[in-house]
Amino acid sequence: MSDKPGLIRRFFGFIGKLAHGIRVLINIIFVLVVVALVLSMFQEDVQPLPDSAALRIAPGGFLVEQKTYSDPLTQLMQQSSPADAETLVQDLVEAIDRAAVDPRITSLVLELDYLLGGGLTKLEYVGQALKRFRESGKPIIAVGDNYTQEQYYLASYADEIHLNPMGAVLITGYGSYHNYFKDALDKLRINVHVFRVGTYKDAIEPFTRNDMSAASREHNSAWLNALWAVFTHRVETQRNLPTDAINDYVNNLGAKLETHRGNAAELAVVSGLVDKLSTRPQMSERLRELAGVNDEGGYQGIDMKRYLSHTRRSQALETQPDTGKIGLIVAKGMILDGEQPAGTVGGDSLAKLLQQARRNDQLKALVLRIDSPGGSAFASEVIRQEVIATRKAGLPVIVSMGTVAASGGYWIAMGANEVWASPTTITGSIGVFGVVPTFEESLAALGVSSDGIGTTELADLYQLDRPMSDQAAQVIQSGVNHIYDHFLELVAEARGSTPEQVHQVAQGRVWTGVKAQELGLVDQLGDLQQATQAAAKLAGLDLYEVEEISKPLNFREQLLQELTNGQAGAWLAMLPRSWTPQGWLASVYDLGRKLEPLNHFNDPRGMYLECFECDIR
């Protein structure tokens, strides 16, 4: 008998060796790629900045204070992720301010087609940076196929605004519209038990009404009109338009378009909103004329990300004088209990950041940037107590309010030394609510019954398939009343007032930053930079640098983040883009953001400090 393997054994042996060889080859290739990427982190920028160029500002998606968490490996390997639909407002301001004093930057180009918004306060923050850039004597050119309301707000800061002849400027005004579910809930036989304190705490109205209440209409109208007045005044000032020109344009748009035979682009020029109608080739020619021609035949421009990467690296290599440090913690998104990823405020996770700041001996003061409509009452109190502990540890805390710092967002601000708000910040909403649905009638209609026995009258408190007892309702309402009273007391203590006086401006009512200062709810008006300067003054610092406090990364996350942000990330960015348009990506992201409230009910006691009406984007 021969020991030579048969044909089948030889065939499968060959397949096994081939598979093993492929695995080894893949592993070798992966190691070589990682080594190449790691080495690239320590290389100088192989493409130095040109001696003369325009800075290209092309924000995508929503302007945010903090990007929604995305795994670093996903960011590195994928062309598309939720982060593609977000732009850090601090990056925009930093790039614009750096460029204003950089002799290599001769001008600034605003490409706004993929900007979806982010709130008036963030637009104001970027707008003031654009204003400083213009004051340096360098021109700003805005180019776009169309301009939405928030895109146009930034474009109004430009020296020249170019619009595609097939485009339009669509300004609509601000509004706050919601769906109301009372009839639908009645048809589904769902009983929604609502508990609240505050005449104006209208977050629960969609469950109890089919329309907006008079109280809700009153207070929402006040702050919406206040923000709209800022928008129109700013645009009319930047464009040298007559007072009320924007209202005239919006309210009579139909008649004006009819006069121009529906030509929206022509109307935009006649109305003084844009300077010139230019096709894409004409826009490119104007930019080449302004900034020069690059090797590919386009205009000589530097992308914001590349510019920031280069200038930050150069700054890191320079010898810095001894300066104090101001810590910065961003509290962005809904406030939830427990550990939460970036882009959402977790009670435990933000508490750990505050503890981390206290352990950092180099920090001389802390700025807490709040951009949150609130959420869990319990998590809000966990955070506020940590803010107080930070102050007691000798580290001054300044709160800087972003687009919105209302309800729970306002609650956590009450632990700080000083509270700063932008004039257009939406704040207040001092009120509490609880919502408990029960489905006993819905199940009964399907033939499902609930029965049993308990040792007390509250044994079925958490049984949503049973009617809520009067005592259970009394227990929950008492809890809501208690938290509201506590809210009034902590605001009164922090603001040097009384609970009775705070109650007069509370009851769930929303205020702009300007009005909040008049009412004594905030100390000063100013943006993040001004609040940071106030923190430095409080700490006695003339020279300082800002250090953002964030969750420490493990080795894997650090490596992947460095690769993403470094030269390797730039190489990957040069790869062909996927077929998915960024606008579509951002739209999907926005839909997810609008559905977020469905995941927000995780307070241990079901008590919420949330301002649903504060989102007008």
pLDDT tens string 505-525 = 999 999 999 999 999 999 999
Rounded distance, CA 539 to CA 414, Å? 20
Query: Which residues are CB-neighbours of 448 under 8 A, at least 6 positions away?
Result: 465
| Alpha-carbon distances, residue 452 vs 153, 190, 469, 470, 604 (angstroms) | 62, 21, 15, 18, 26
Backbone angles phi, psi at 437, to 5 degrees: -85, 145
Rounded distance, CA 112 to CA 57, Å? 8
Question: Residue 490 falls within a domain, yes or no?
Answer: yes
Q: Within 13 A of 351's CA, how many CA atoms are on the CB side?
A: 18
Give per-residue pLDDT as tens, 539-591: 999 889 999 998 876 555 555 555 555 444 444 444 443 433 434 444 444 44
Instruction: Assess whether 82 and 145 both reside in one domain.
Output: yes
Instruction: Assess whether 519 and 439 both reside in one domain.
Output: yes
Query: Which residues are CB-neighbours of 93 under 8 A, at least 6 positions away?
Result: 125, 126, 129, 529
Q: Which residues are catalytic?
A: 201, 407
Question: Residue 13 falls within a domain, yes or no?
Answer: no
Which residue, 312, 340, 369, sits at the end of a domain? 312
Rounded distance, CA 447 to CA 251, Å? 54
Give per-residue pLDDT as tens, 113-160: 999 988 999 999 999 999 999 999 999 999 999 999 999 999 999 999
Backbone angles phi, psi at 586, to 5 degrees: -65, -35
Question: Residue 71 falls within a domain, yes or no?
Answer: yes
Instruction: Assess whether 329 and 285 both reside in one domain.
Output: no
Q: Are 45 and 59 in contact (CB under 8 A)?
A: no
Question: Residue 120 falls within a domain, yes or no?
Answer: yes
pLDDT at 592 exceeding the cut of 60: no
Which residue, 283, 312, 341, sits at the end of a domain? 312
Q: Within 13 A of 64's CA, how many CA atoms are on the CB side?
A: 24
Query: How open is the CA angle 33-37-38, to the nearest 5 degrees?
Result: 115
Instruction: Assess whether 384 and 495 both reside in one domain.
Output: yes
Residues linked to residue 421 through DSSP beta bridges, in sequence order? 401, 525
Backbone angles phi, psi at 256, to 5 degrees: -65, -40
Backbone angles phi, psi at 118, to 5 degrees: 150, -5
Counting other chains too, the contacts that 69-73 makes at CB distance below 8 Å and 24 or more residues apart are 69/341, 69/342, 69/343, 72/553, 72/556, 72/557, 72/560, 72/561, 72/564, 73/560
Amino acid identity at 83: A
Q: What is the CA radius of gyration of the chain?
A: 28
Instruction: Assess whether 308 and 332 both reside in one domain.
Output: no
Query: Which residues are CB-neighbours of 262 under 8 A, at least 6 positions away?
Result: none
Q: What is the pLDDT of residue 24?
A: 72
Q: Which domain holds residue 106?
A: 53-169+274-312
Domain count, the chain: 2
Query: Which residues are CB-neighbours of 156 under 8 A, at least 6 positions away?
Result: 234, 235, 238, 239
Q: Model confidence at 604, in pLDDT bands (50, 70, 90)? A: low
Question: Residue 261 falls within a domain, yes or no?
Answer: no
Instruction: Assess whether 351 and 471 both reside in one domain.
Output: yes
Q: Which residue has the tokens 């850090």?
A: 88
Which residue, 260, 287, 312, sits at the end of a domain? 312
Give per-residue pLDDT as tens, 344-358: 999 999 999 999 999
102: left (phi over 0), alpha (psi -120 to 50) or beta: beta
Q: Are 586 and 64 in contact (CB under 8 A)?
A: no
SS3 content of the chain, % helix, strand, coil (to 5): 50, 20, 35
Per DSSP bridges, beta strands 115-117 and 160-163 are unpaired
Instruction: Assess whether 569 and 473 both reside in one domain.
Output: yes
Give per-residue pLDDT as tens, 461-501: 889 999 999 999 999 899 999 999 999 999 999 999 999 99
Q: What three-state secondary structure class fits 346? A: strand
Instruction: Assess whether 299 and 417 both reside in one domain.
Output: no
Q: What three-state secondary structure class fits 462? A: coil
Residues 34-50 have a mean pLDDT of 60
Question: Residue 381 falls within a domain, yes or no?
Answer: yes
Rounded distance, CA 459 to CA 113, Å? 57
Helix (H) or strand (E) holding 199: none
Q: Are 133 and 164 in contact (CB under 8 A)?
A: no
Choose between 40 and 28: higher pLDDT: 28
> Domain holding 361: CATH number?
3.90.226.10
Instruction: Assess whether 394 and 483 both reside in one domain.
Output: yes
Which has the closest alpha carbon to 62: 45, 84, 43?
A: 84
Question: Residue 440 falls within a domain, yes or no?
Answer: yes
Dihedral sign for Cα 275, 276, 280, 284, please.
Answer: negative
Residues linked to residue 512 through DSSP beta bridges, in sequence order? 426
Query: Which residues are CB-neighbours of 98 under 8 A, at least 6 positions away?
Result: 307, 308, 311
Which strands form 53-57's sheet, in the order they lie side by side? Answer: 276-277, 160-163, 140-144, 105-111, 53-57, 301-303
Rounded distance, CA 99 to CA 450, Å? 68
Give per-residue pLDDT as tens, 405-464: 999 999 999 999 999 999 999 999 999 888 889 999 999 999 999 999 999 988 988 899
Give per-residue pLDDT as tens, 240-277: 999 999 999 999 999 999 999 999 999 999 999 999 99
Instruction: Assess whether 339 and 379 both reside in one domain.
Output: yes
Q: Within 13 A of 210's CA, how many CA atoms are on the CB side?
A: 5
- The residue count of the chain comes to 617
Give per-residue pLDDT as tens, 59-106: 998 999 988 866 554 454 444 444 467 899 999 999 999 999 999 999
Q: Are 210 and 183 in contact (CB under 8 A)?
A: yes
Q: What is the pLDDT of residue 602?
A: 59
Give per-residue pLDDT as tens, 372-397: 999 999 999 999 999 999 999 999 99
8-state DSSP, 99: H
Instruction: Assess whether 71 and 127 both reside in one domain.
Output: yes
Rounded distance, CA 89 to CA 65, Å? 6
Instruction: Assess whether 443 and 349 both reside in one domain.
Output: yes
Rounded distance, CA 299 to CA 286, Å? 9
Question: Residue 439 falls within a domain, yes or no?
Answer: yes
